[in-house]
Structure 1
Amino acid sequence: MDAGEENYISKKCGIRFSPPALILVYEDKVRNNELRKRVMPIRNFRTSSSVNFVAQDLKLRHEKIMQSVSTMQVEKMLRVLQEHMKGTELLEAVQIVSKEFSVGSDEDLNKLGDDVLRRKKEIMDQTFKKNQIKPQDPEFVYDKQIDFDQNANEKVESGWDAEDNDDLFWN
């Protein structure tokens, strides 16, 4: 196999609540594409633990098999585990975490803390990459042109930039 080729490809990722563990089902290319399961215990995990730190630690400890798993996916699993540790029902915990790991069009990102902002930016990057159309994709069109509604070109009066109000500014 090439040095750049992955020997382990993740198929499913999940969590176990008691005792806390991350479970990964992966395809082992070294063993003729055999499906394997790895249970990775999550030690000393609390409701106040940093999910980013724990996710990075898990990925570092299990570097070979976790190579094809995104850090964000591990963080989502850990957040569901945290919500469950707080006593939240599973479906409600999944809804809370899904809301945390999405970006709303009306959401003001200027009011977020550094960690939450970093996560939101990663979500936007991931969404962009997922929706990106590359030249090798069959739906790729070079020099695509779209005619928008002609009414959009009409000038809209705003009032604040009217010329007859210039004398008010200097008074």
Structure 2
Amino acid sequence: MTKYLHQRCPTASETLQLAIRAQHLRRWEVPRDLYPKTKPGYYAWRSYLQKRQAEIAQQICLESGYSQPDAERVAALVRKEGLKQEDEETQVLEDVACLVFLDDRFEEFERGIEEVKVIEILRKTLAKMSKDGRALAGEVVGGLSERARGLVQKALEGI
């Protein structure tokens, strides 16, 4: 996350840097299989994690001497508040999360899923990204397999 943050926003605020590092804080403690294997189950799991990780990050910030407003800002960023209201820092966090998915998880993720479904998921992911984020995504996919690059290219054509 830090690597892509520096590429996407070299002048990131300290609160954004903290939120980037806290986005998946202790995520392993709440396994996905605790929730139904359905779309609503996935969204419930993801929403719970966002809220939980934000609360943990806020508490750690306060215990580490950050001000209440800074700790609250970190938590708001982890919850991705303001994403649809064009909060630039929240958008940077979303871009970075998507870049990490493409770089670190996509090839494993797309195996065993039919192409049409993978492209649909990619389109949703890429649509959440800013223009700058999608430009970086183009660089990230250069290191992927030919199949993965092709899937991303097809998804980009639909955006």
Q: TM-score by structure 2 length?
A: 0.28
Q: Which of the two has higher C-alpha Rg?
A: 1
Structure in which a larger fraction of residues adopt helix: 2
